[in-house]
Structure 1
Amino acid sequence: MRLFSVLLLSCASPLLFAADLPGSHDLPIVPRMPDAQIVDYRPPAEMERIYPMGSIRKISGQLRFDGQVGARGTTTSVTYELPPEHSSIAAFTAAREALQGQGAELLFWCQARDCGESSLWANEVFGNAKLYGADAQQAYLLLRRAAPNDNSLVALYSITRGNRRAYLHVEQFDASTPLGELLPTSATLLRQLKDTGELDLPKLGGEPQPSWLTLLSRGLNLDTTLRVSVSGPNAEAWRQALIGQGVRAARMETGGSEAPGLRLELLR
């Protein structure tokens, strides 16, 4: 019986008994997926950090991307290997929803080949070879935490490698100086709208702002098949302003005024 028990334990999944990397711990802002283990941990360190806000590529040996957020501050990161029953995108989605539930704002979101080469994200951006996998199996997200922690950014990167092992990388950056105004990309606004069915912008309760009008109109016109309802205290003013920016009137309906700010909902 004792021999049988030993054989049974030796055949069990290694993840069941795997321990976290010594000295590592979770970041409080992102809950751990059940049975995930920490395989890489970088304690708080002060550094200059640049986070891409566009697809990355290498040209003449230099890393290139369309936009970025850069500052000096303290960076802490943790990388999880996920259990076989959970996909990298499921862990990515759970982390995103948890952060948005805390009021974090999306700045940039890409998935699969829209992100560029996984090898560049793994080695050039995060300096972690464990994160190198198939370009089609990656996702990246950059968020800004809600006030009073709005000088803090969170980067998420998920990947499934060729051996089917899945990873989620979580990185928190606390800037030493105020980050100022940071705006999302139009493609990110569209991705959130299509993925979640809604776009909540609580800070936009007043009259239409030119910078946001440009972002929203460009995002909506990236997919002209979509129809949305526009809600909030100044919903009709935003709707008319978006029409003035080239969004067809037939694609938008005016919703209620109960939302604290501007709210766009996808009409199925």
Structure 2
Amino acid sequence: MRSLGLLVLCCCSSLSFAADVPGSQDLQVVPRLADAQIVDYRPPVELERIYPLGSIRKISGQLRFDGQVTARGQTTSVTYELPPEHSATEAFTAAREALQKQGAGLLFWCQARDCGESSLWANEVFGNAKLYGADEQQAYLLLRLAAPQDNTLVALYSITRGNRKAYLHVEQFEAMAPLGELLPTSATLLRQLKSTGELHFPQLVNEPDDTWLRLISRGLNLDTTQRVTVSGPKAEAWRQALINQGVRAARMETGSVDGAGLRIELLR
């Protein structure tokens, strides 16, 4: 009887873990990692939302960060607790890759202590204490969906708590008014290049654009050990312009002139 009781308890515990909070559902743009459980769900609500584009800190009781996106719109969020066999990093990467396959563009990406304090992300940005954990175990990413959904942002935040429980928070924001031009940070471009091996800018089909030229050159110069190929219809023009911006010529090769827009690929 004692063995049977333990078996029933184990089964109930397993079933309990598999159950999502009532009324919750996944967001269509981000697939759920196998065996993940929804532990917090907030249905669409109209809010004035601020998404940081930099490391966050608190000074004199006020949140501070280098840049931000501020808009009013509908916000929906889902928080997953991950099963022990999947890490927060794994869930974060799977979500990022799924969104990029849909053409989403990265705006700001930070990891570990580069993000600032986890307590501020959990309590001040997302209002969810479950997301508070070790600073070195966090990651945050803000993306913009591709047209015609380009007035929609998706925020990802992953964390591993001190008790080793891992969480992935996914927030979708649909702005009520056009968001206009939003540019990634140079550090985000470098992180993307190192993580995925390439940067693709399908919209950059003409001669070098000054704004994008500054962002890309700064990103490349954040790590002067990286070598890349520059491809696209105006590849050589971009390569020369990047040299003029201070990127060493020896670090860049001209690749194919085919393809849509500018493409920068990491030479392994």
Instruction: Give the shorter-chain TM-score range.
Output: over 0.9
Q: Percent identity?
A: 78
In the other structure, the counterpart of 1:234 is 234
In the other structure, the counterpart of 1:181 is 181
Residue deviations 1:239-263 (CA, integer Å, cap 9, x gap):
0000011101010000002221111
Say yes or no: does 1:10 pair with 2:18.
Answer: no
CA contact (8 A) 1:72 1:175 kept: yes
Q: 1:161 to 1:143 in 2, by over 3 A?
A: same
Say yes or no: does 1:73 pair with 2:110.
Answer: no
Deviation of the 1:16 alpha carbon: 4.8
TM-score (norm 1): 0.97
Secondary structure (helix, strand or coil) at the match of 1:49 reads strand
In the other structure, the counterpart of 1:259 is 259
In the other structure, the counterpart of 1:31 is 31
Deviation of the 1:201 alpha carbon: 1.2
In the other structure, the counterpart of 2:146 is 146
In structure 2, C-alpha distance between the alignment counterparts of 1:187 and 1:257, rounded to whole Å:
26
The amino acid that maps onto 2:139 is A
Aligned CA-pair RMSD? 1.2
Say yes or no: does 1:167 pair with 2:180.
Answer: no
In structure 2, C-alpha distance between the alignment counterparts of 1:58 and 1:135, rounded to whole Å:
15
Q: 1:200 to 1:101 in 2, by over 3 A?
A: same
In the other structure, the counterpart of 1:52 is 52
The amino acid that maps onto 1:247 is V
The amino acid that maps onto 1:147 is A
How many residue pairs were aligned?
267
Deviation of the 1:12 alpha carbon: 5.1
Segments of structure 1 that go 5 or more residues without pairing to the other structure are none
Deviation of the 1:15 alpha carbon: 4.7
The amino acid that maps onto 1:266 is L
Deviation of the 1:11 alpha carbon: 3.0
In structure 2, C-alpha distance between the alignment counterparts of 1:162 and 1:115, rounded to whole Å:
18
In the other structure, the counterpart of 2:114 is 114
In structure 2, C-alpha distance between the alignment counterparts of 1:146 and 1:152, rounded to whole Å:
9
